[in-house]
Structures are given as C-alpha cells and as structure tokens.
C-alpha cells in the first residue's frame, strides 16, 4: 500500500509520503493480517485518503480491446480457472466483458493436444472471449504440428475487424 500523508483536499499539507509495503505469504500466521493492517492504519498520518489508482482496474478502463498474444498453456489454465496472480491475469479477471478480449494460444503440440487444453479454450470462449486459433508448423522446439501462434497479419486483421465492428474505430 502507498498511503499518503495528506489528501490533496486536506487542510494540513505534508510533502512526504509514507510508504509501507506489507508482503504476505502462505503461513498460517497470515491470519493476523487484518489485525496488523488495522493497527498500522491507526498510526497518525499513515492513511488519510485512497487516491492511488489500482493498476489492473485502470488498465481495464483504459483499453478498448485486450489482446493476449501469445497465450501460453500456463496462463490459459490460470484464466480458465479464475486464478489472478499477476498483472495480466488480474486485468483479464477484471475485464469488462462488454469489451472484446482476443486470445492467441501458443504452446507445444503435445500440450495443445492434451484434453485439458480444449476444455480451457472452451471455458474462455464461454466467458465471451474470442480465440484466434493457433496454426500448424515447425515449432521452435523442433516438433511439427498445431500449437504455433497465429501469424501476425492474421492477428492484426482480427483486431482491425473487431475494432471496426464494435468500437467505431476507422480501419486503415
């Protein structure tokens, strides 16, 4: 948290910000966190107002379209399961589903062909997200088959098409 020593509209003006970063891990002692934070917030001038933006929320508000390219197997699994443990997965979890989200799977052929992958892709589609399908080619690992991210031109064309139909953006 980055509390401010004073609010912009406050009566007393204090130049200095107080920065306290609280890191929490999986220990059972995390049960004490509410008590710890409440007592930290009781320190005078520790927290007077909440003016800092929440990055993943600001990003979702800012964007008209979210393109996830490439979408690896790990992140696919996280998104399909609702896990949001990094900035990208938090943005996706908070995404305004009235706005388009396009995703471009990319992974090894063996991973692509695993039964869970089809389930996870179907789950993202059920959320209303649009798949730009992977393609078959020789992968960096040397394997041949499905799993390569769609070609850049294909992705750009889909973005243009989507923006042209949903957001009144001119196509170039």
Domains by residue range for the chain, with CATH: 1-52 (no CATH), 55-166 (3.40.50.1950)
Contacts of 20 (CB under 8 A, 6+ apart): 1, 3, 40, 46
Cα–Cα nearest to 20, from 57, 86, 32, 43: 43
pLDDT band of 50, cuts 50, 70, 90: low
pLDDT band of 2, cuts 50, 70, 90: very low
134, 141, 166, 167: the active-site residue:
141
The two beta strands, 130-131 and 101-105, are parallel
Assign 106 to helix, strand or coil.
Answer: coil
Say whether 141 is catalytic. Answer: yes
Contacts of 57 (CB under 8 A, 6+ apart): 94
Q: Which token pair is 39?
A: 């007592």
Ranking 9-18, 66-75, 121-130, 148-157 by mean pLDDT, the lowest is: 9-18
Looking at the DSSP assignment, which residues form a beta bridge with residue 146? 136
Q: Which token pair is 129?
A: 């997200």
């Amino acid at each position: 948290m980055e509390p401010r020593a004073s609010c912009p509209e406050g009566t007393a003006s204090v130049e200095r910000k107080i920065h306290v970063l609280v890191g929490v891990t999986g220990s059972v002692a995390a049960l004490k966190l509410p008590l710890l934070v409440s007592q930290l917030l009781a320190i005078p001038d520790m927290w007077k107002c909440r003016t800092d933006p929440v990055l993943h929320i600001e990003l979702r508000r800012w964007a008209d379209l979210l393109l996830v390219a490439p979408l690896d197997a790990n992140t696919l699994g996280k998104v399909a399961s609702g896990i949001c443990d990094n900035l990208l997965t938090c943005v996706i979890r908070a995404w305004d589903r009235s706005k388009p989200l396009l995703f471009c799977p990319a992974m090894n052929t063996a991973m692509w062909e695993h039964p869970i992958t089809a389930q996870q892709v179907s789950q993202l589609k059920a959320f209303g997200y649009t798949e730009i399908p992977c393609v078959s080619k020789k992968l960096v690992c040397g394997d041949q088959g499905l799993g390569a991210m769609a070609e850049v031109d294909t992705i750009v064309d889909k973005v243009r098409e989507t923006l042209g139909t949903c957001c009144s953006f001119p196509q170039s």
